[in-house]
Amino acid sequence: MIAVTVPTANIDWTGTAHIRRAQTSGWAERAWCDECGSNLFYRMTADDQTDTEMPLGLFDDANGFRLVNEIFIDHKPDSYAFEGSDRTLMTRQDCIARFGALNTDPENQAG
């Protein structure tokens, strides 16, 4: 998912009757619109996270955003690569180390 990090407190939703959420892991939830099916966000629910990851495609004007992080870079398909180098690249193990909440799910332990 190509997403924009937004402080959760700065998000003002409309059409909330159509927003569905699911706790999809021990540390995060996802939401979607039950009317059109669009993905709305990914949000960590552990470790007092205050940000929400929103898909770039939700914005009417996606200009002006800058790619600053790529996560799970060691699991990306070979056919997928962004140009430039002015960003943080995080492997699966880097993510586990950075986001302590990931350690609560045995399926996400480094093996």
**Is 90 exceeded by the pLDDT of residue 11?**
yes
CB 109, CB 93: distance < 8 Å: no
pLDDT digits (tens, 9 = 90+) for 27-49: 889 999 999 999 999 998 876 77
Give the count of alpha carbons within 13 A of 64, CB side only. Answer: 3
Of 111 and 25, the one with more pLDDT = 25
Tell me how far apart the alpha carbons of residues 93 and 1 are, in angstroms, rounded to a whole number.
19
| The two three-digit tokens of residue 59, written as one number | 């914005």
Q: What is the pLDDT of residue 42?
A: 92
What predicted TM-score, i.e. pTM, was given to this entire model? 0.74
In this structure, the number of other CB atoms found within 10 A of the CB of residue 57 comes to: 11
